[in-house]
Structure 1
Amino acid sequence: MTDPSGQVRSAERPDEAGHDENGTLSEDQAVLIDEVIDASHTTASGFRVVHDENRGTYDAIVGDREVAGLTYSTTGDDRIVLLGTSVLPEFRKQGVATALIRHVLDDVRAQGKTVTILCAIVRTFIEHNPEYADLIDVKHPGVTQRRPHSS
C-alpha cells in the first residue's frame, strides 16, 4: 500500500506468513482473519481494484484513496506468491479484505495460474471458501494452515 506521503510500504507482516517470532498473528492481522471467517455479514462496495504489476500489488481504491492492498511476487512458472494483505483500520470489518482477496483469486484463475500462499489471511479465506483450493500450487503451497492468534 502507499502511505499518506506517497511512499510504497509492504503489507504489515513480521514475516512472510504474517506471524511474529512466536508464530502468532498480530492484532491487525487477527482482525482481518476474523473478517474473512465471518464474511457473511459484510459486503464491501464502493471500491475498485487496481492491479499494479510493476509494484506487485492489487490495491482497493475508494475515491482517490488506497484503502487496502494485497502484495505478491511472481515466479517463472505461472505461479503467483501471495505475500500479505493489509487494510487501513477505518476500512476493516467492512468486507474489503474479503472482496479484495476474492478479486485477486478470480484474476489468478482467469490467468490460468496457481498460487503459493504466504499470507495467513488469504490462507484463512481459502479454508472458508474451498472453491478456490484448486488454485493452490501442489508443489509449493506455502502456509499450509492458519495459526492461532494471540488473545
Structure 2
Amino acid sequence: MTGPTAPSRYDFEYPDEGGVPGGKSTLSPDQTVLIDELLDRPHASTSDFEFVNDQQAGIYGATVGGREIAGLSYNDAGDDRLVLLAISVFPEFRNKGIATELIRRVLDDVRAQGKTVTIMCPIVRTFIENNPEYAGLVDSKHPGVTKRPRRS
C-alpha cells in the first residue's frame, strides 16, 4: 500500500465550463517551460518591456521595440470580471522573467480597475499560488482552473 502522492507542478483540473473533457488536461511543452520558469526562477531578471492592453483583441501584451514578445489573452465576462485564458512568451524571451512580470502587471491592472479574475491558464494559477497577495483577485464563484488534489 502506498501513501498519498504529492501533486505534480503540472496537475490541474478545469471547471466544466472550461471545455476540457473530464476536467483534466495535459500541459503543452510550452506551458511546462513557463511553469518551470515561474517556480524555479521566480526572481529572474526581467528585461524592460512596454505593457499594453489591447481591449479590442482581448490581449495584454509585452512589446520591445514595437515587437510583441509575450501576451496574455482574456475575455471580458461583463460582470467586472476578466477570464484569463492563456499566456505565451516567444521562445527567445523565455527564462528572463517576462511571464512573471507580465502576469504581475496584468493582475495589478485588474486590481486597479476593481475587477476580479477567473483563471483558465495554469501558468497564471501557478503564479497566484506562489504570490498570495493576488489571491483576493480570484472570483470566488468562478475561480477557474485549480491544482489537482493529492492522489492516493
Contact 2:42/2:100 (<8 A) preserved = no
CA pair 146-103 structure 1, distance change in 2 beyond 3 A: farther
Question: Runs of at least 4 residues of structure 1 off by over 2 A?
Answer: 19-22, 38-41
**2:77 corresponds to which of 68, 75, 78:** 75
Contact 1:50/1:59 (<8 A) preserved = yes
CA pair 99-146 structure 1, distance change in 2 beyond 3 A: farther
Higher mean C-alpha deviation, range 93-102 or range 40-49: 40-49
Which 5+ residue runs of structure 2 have no aligned equivalent? 1-13
CA distance in 2, matches of 1:41, 1:99: 10
Residue 28 (structure 1) aligns with: 30
CA pair 37-121 structure 1, distance change in 2 beyond 3 A: same
Aligned residue runs from structure 1 range 1-151, under 5 A = 23-145=25-147
Measured on the aligned residues, the alpha-carbon RMSD in Å equals: 2.2
TM-score of the pair, normalised by structure 2:
0.80
CA distance in 2, matches of 1:97, 1:65: 16
Identity of aligned residues (%): 63
Contact 2:82/2:117 (<8 A) preserved = yes
User: CA offset at residue 24 of structure 1?
Assistant: 1.6
TM-score of the pair, normalised by structure 1:
0.80
Equivalent position amino acid for 1:131 in 2: E
Which 5+ residue runs of structure 1 have no aligned equivalent? 1-14
Could you list the per-position Cα deviations for residues 22-59 of structure 1 after superposition, in whole angstroms to 9, with x for gaps in the alignment? 62211110000111113334121221111100000011
Larger radius of gyration: 2
Higher mean C-alpha deviation, range 32-41 or range 52-61: 32-41
User: CA offset at residue 142 of structure 1?
Assistant: 0.4
Equivalent position amino acid for 1:111 in 2: Q
